[in-house]
Structure 1
Amino acid sequence: MRLKVTPKVGPRYWAAILVASMCGTNMGDTIPDVLKVSALSGLIMLAFMFALLMSAERATSRGSEAFYWIAILVVRAAATNIADYSIDQAHLTYLNVIAALVLLLGGILVLQHRSKSKQIKGALPPACGFYWLTMLLAGSLGTVIGDALGHSFNSVQMGVPISASIATLALLLIWIARTRMDWPGATSYWVAVVGVRWWGTNVGDVLAFLLSLVPSASITGSALAILLLTWRASPTGSTDLARSSRGQET
């Protein structure tokens, strides 16, 4: 399930994943609100789409960065459906869901920290099945945090922008810590992803309030494609990562 080509982590990556988070939020909400499909059925549909995507990538000889970003959108939409199912259908509280996701994500990060593999600066953690599971958990956690804060006010139209503002401040602090306080590695990457997903949940909701779900998803999806095509960066292949890793260990 490991992708052949992944993007490098840098300004282009974070700009793209911010846009992808907005788009994936609206895609996830489209499943129950527009298609009238339950969150659980939507998750099954998205899992099938993800499996097809991985199979298509494996069938290619060299891969493409496009597979990574499409997978990000699918996983982001799935995280939205997990959050919706947990609150609306399983009738769990926001606090219980957040606590469970924090424990799961924290456990994965502890296991990753204890492993011998080291993340190369400027590269993603290996985009294998473990990576996508962590991405799903981080996306679900960010979604639930955004929804919990956005719905904690009397008016959702007021609460969601307030939560988006808090998420913006949190992201700025995380990125400052990453760049100025020398906080590299997988842990800071996943903390930043949670912040991005939180931000994308609320900003995506604001766009949906203004434009409705389908136009908002279409616009942000087009913006993501334009950003990736116009802001070119050399992607990182799995073979190159393996060579770099061996070079660091010797």
Structure 2
Amino acid sequence: MTRKLPHVTVVFWILKIAATTLGETGGDLLAQTLKVGYLTSTLIFFAMFLVSVVFQLRARRFHPAIFWTVIVTTSTAGTTMSDFMNRTAGLGYTLGALILTTCLAVIFMIWWRSGQTLDVENVATFKGEMLYWVAILFSNTLGTSSGDFLADDAGVGFRNGFLLLAGIMALLAAAHYLTNINGTLLFWVAFVLTRPLGATAGDSLSKPLDHGGLNWGTEGTSAALLGILVVLAVYQIMHLRRHPLEPVPAPVNRRTGAPEQLNDDRIVVPVPRSAEAPGASVALDGAPARPRHIPRSLATEPES
């Protein structure tokens, strides 16, 4: 099975920050500038998220356009959902962030106990990908609350908040390359932090001058960010045509070691080393077959 999730590279992080920043300005554009309101905007963006994530779950391989559309919808939905909780419902940034942190911790606990891999590059099962997207939705919502808390309640401001978070991201990058800290842990810490980084960056660009912003407005900022996102996504598509992603490793349950069912319900069975045709697959009767995906019910496990 080919990979459905991208490798975590510099381009990935640039796209993620652009997408989360667009999520901030896009959410504010609909909820505030167009006066749709936080609750209605949340329902609209959540519906868009559900539609896009269904396409992602049904895809057989990584499609940058689909993947980044889902990321943007989680960011916009996270923005308006957080603002509804903190402002309309009156929970405040501190309580809102505490509730969302608890929810995210519960999601990761469920993910851990499920035995699904936490290595985001190698998620290959339906359950694992569902947990991945739920975690992203809540992490983006938490990131919005954290960014607003930092800029408003903590009194740091948009620009200083952005610089502070950018510094923390640089430290995480250094920890990844210079230490033995678990890469999955560093990824999720960085992933959550890109949301407040994007939130403070978006507010720094769109808010009026007397609020510490550059007064680009939500329309201009969103248009510029959308252009950047499209250009980078096209670059990623062209790169994948020249350098396709390698197949994802066969998934196994992390706790039991048992084989897991692939998201598309197909497996590839490699032929034993003693077979004549390299790269062939093995059918139920053990005869070499053409290398291809075959139904699970017709496959046998490879010889050790």
2:149 partner letter = A
Q: Distance in 1 between matches of 2:141 and 2:122?
A: 20
Aligned to 1:198: 196
* 1:170 and 2:182 are equivalent in the alignment: no
1:181 aligned residue: 179
Equivalent residue of 2:34, what SS? coil
CA contact (8 A) 1:6 1:235 kept: no
Corresponding pairs, count = 240
Whether 1:241 and 2:248 are equivalent positions in the alignment is yes
Identity of aligned residues (%): 22
Distance in 2 of aligned mates of 1:60 and 1:195: 28
Q: CA deviation at 1:242?
A: 4.6
Instruction: Tell which has more relative contact order, 1 or 2 (C-alpha 8 A, sep 6+).
Output: 1
- When normalised by structure 1's length, the TM-score is 0.84
Secondary structure at the residue paired with 2:157?
A: helix
C-alpha spacing 1:113/1:182, structure 2 compared with 1 (3 Å): farther
Cα distance, 1:57 vs. partner? 4.9
Is the CA contact 1:5–1:235 (under 8 Å) kept in the aligned structure 2?
no
1:77-126 superposed Cα distances (whole Å, 9 cap, x missing partner):
01101111011111012211111111121222233334433344x71645
1:219 to 224, 232, 247: 224
Higher alpha-carbon Rg: 2
CA contact (8 A) 1:53 1:71 kept: yes
Which residue of structure 2 aligns with residue 39 of structure 1? 38
**Structure 2 contact 19–229 (Cα < 8 Å) conserved:** yes
**Residues in 2 aligned to 1:124 and 1:77: alpha-carbon distance in whole angstroms:** 26
- 1:135 aligned residue: 136
* Cα gap change, 1:117 to 1:58, in 2 (>3 Å): closer
Q: Any idea what SS the aligned residue of 1:143 has?
A: helix
| 8 Å Cα contact 2:112-2:118 kept in structure 1 | no
Task: Determine the C-alpha separation between the residues in 1 that align with 2:178 and 2:111.
Answer: 24
Confirm or deny: 8 A CA contact 2:176 2:183 kept in the other structure: no
Deviates more, 1:51-60 or 1:63-72: 51-60
CA distance in 2, matches of 1:104, 1:61: 30
Q: 1:214 to 1:117 in 2, by over 3 A?
A: same
Give the structure 2 partner of residue 106 of structure 1: 105
- Taking structure 2 as the reference length, the TM-score comes to 0.70
Q: Relative to 1, partners in 2 of residues 1:59 and 1:98: Cα closer, same or farther, differing over 3 Å?
A: closer
Aligned to 1:37, the other structure's residue is in SS state coil
SS at match of 1:23: helix
- Write the distance in 1 (CA, Å) between the matches of 2:244 and 2:7: 6
Give the aligned partner of residue 295 of structure 2: none
SS at match of 1:182: coil
Counterpart position of 1:64:
63
The worse-fitting range, judged by mean Cα deviation, of 161-170 and 174-183 is: 174-183
Residue 143 of structure 2 contacts residue 194 of structure 2 at CA under 8 Å; is this kept in 1? yes
> 1:107-148 deviations in whole A, cap 9, x for unaligned?
22233334433344x716457222221111111111111111
Q: CA deviation at 1:21?
A: 1.2
Q: Which residue of 2 aligns with 1:82?
A: 81
Counterpart CA distance in 1 for 2:61 and 2:112 is 30
Residue 25 of structure 2 contacts residue 221 of structure 2 at CA under 8 Å; is this kept in 1? Answer: yes
- Structure 1 residue runs without a partner (length 5+): none
C-alpha deviation, 1:166, in angstroms: 1.1
Q: Residue 142 of structure 1 contacts residue 197 of structure 1 at CA under 8 Å; is this kept in 2? A: yes
Instruction: Tell me which amino acid in the other structure corresponds to 1:241.
Output: V
After TM superposition, the structure 1 stretch with the greater mean CA deviation from structure 2, 7-16 or 178-187, is: 178-187
Partner SS state of residue 131, structure 1:
helix
- Counterpart code for 2:203: D
Q: Residues 107, 188 of structure 1: CA spacing in aligned structure 2 closer, same or farther, 3 A cutoff?
A: farther
Between the aligned partners of 1:124 and 1:192, the Cα distance in structure 2 is: 18
Query: In angstroms, what is the RMSD of aligned CA positions?
Result: 2.7
In the alignment, what sits opposite 1:15?
14
CA distance in 2, matches of 1:119, 1:87: 30
How many Å apart are 1:29 and its aligned residue?
A: 0.8
